[in-house]
């Protein structure tokens, strides 16, 4: 895994943790957060390729959508 991918996943973990805390939901274990973050980054890259948008902004949007479900 490359350096940038690692940084994106770390950011995704922070975004997910923040969102869980904001919604007063128990934050899952780190292993679960890492899985969610990896999926989030994969989805963001897929959307970025399709739409030509910024991966970071897409990750933020995905976290919002992820928590609404």
Per-domain residue ranges of the chain: 3-68
**Other Cβ atoms closer than 10 A to 51:** 9
In the prediction, which pLDDT does 68 show?
64
Condensed to tens digits (0 to 9), the pLDDT of residues 17-65 reads 988 998 899 999 999 999 999 998 998 888 877 877 677 777 777 777 7
Q: What is the pTM of this model?
A: 0.74
């Amino acid at each position: 895994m490359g350096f940038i991918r690692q940084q994106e996943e770390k950011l995704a973990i922070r975004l997910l943790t923040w969102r869980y805390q904001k919604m007063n939901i128990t934050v899952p274990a780190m292993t679960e957060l890492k899985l969610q973050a990896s999926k989030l980054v994969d989805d963001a890259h897929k959307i970025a390729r399709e739409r030509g948008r910024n991966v970071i902004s897409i990750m933020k949007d995905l976290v919002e959508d992820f928590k609404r479900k």
